[in-house]
């Protein structure tokens, strides 16, 4: 299980690379309405269990939120279910 915390500079580099990661926004819909990252897939944390099949296991996935707490929870949740590169 590989869970890595990255900063905005590293994310920018990844997004400019050959194979950019899948971005998943785990904030609330109200937070998403205020601002978002282009190409980020909205998936509020509370919906993750029922939408797990929407997240490919064979690609790099970046979860993001406002402070890092919910994205860390999302990473741990999917890692416990066999995801290796979050």
Active-site residues, by number, are 65
Q: Closest by alpha carbon to 84, among 54, 60, 51?
A: 60
Three-class SS of residue 44? coil
CA 81 to chain centroid, in Å, comes to 15
d(CA 17, CA 62): 14
Q: What is the largest CA-CA distance in the chain?
A: 33
């Amino acid at each position: 299980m590989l869970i890595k915390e990255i900063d905005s500079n590293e994310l920018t580099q990844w997004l400019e690379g050959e194979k950019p990661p899948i971005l998943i926004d785990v904030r609330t819909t109200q937070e998403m309405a205020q601002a978002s990252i282009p190409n980020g897939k909205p998936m509020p944390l509370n919906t993750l269990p029922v939408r797990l099949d929407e997240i490919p296991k064979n690609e790099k996935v970046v979860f993001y939120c406002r402070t890092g707490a919910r994205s860390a929870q999302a990473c741990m949740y999917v890692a416990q279910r066999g995801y290796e590169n979050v």
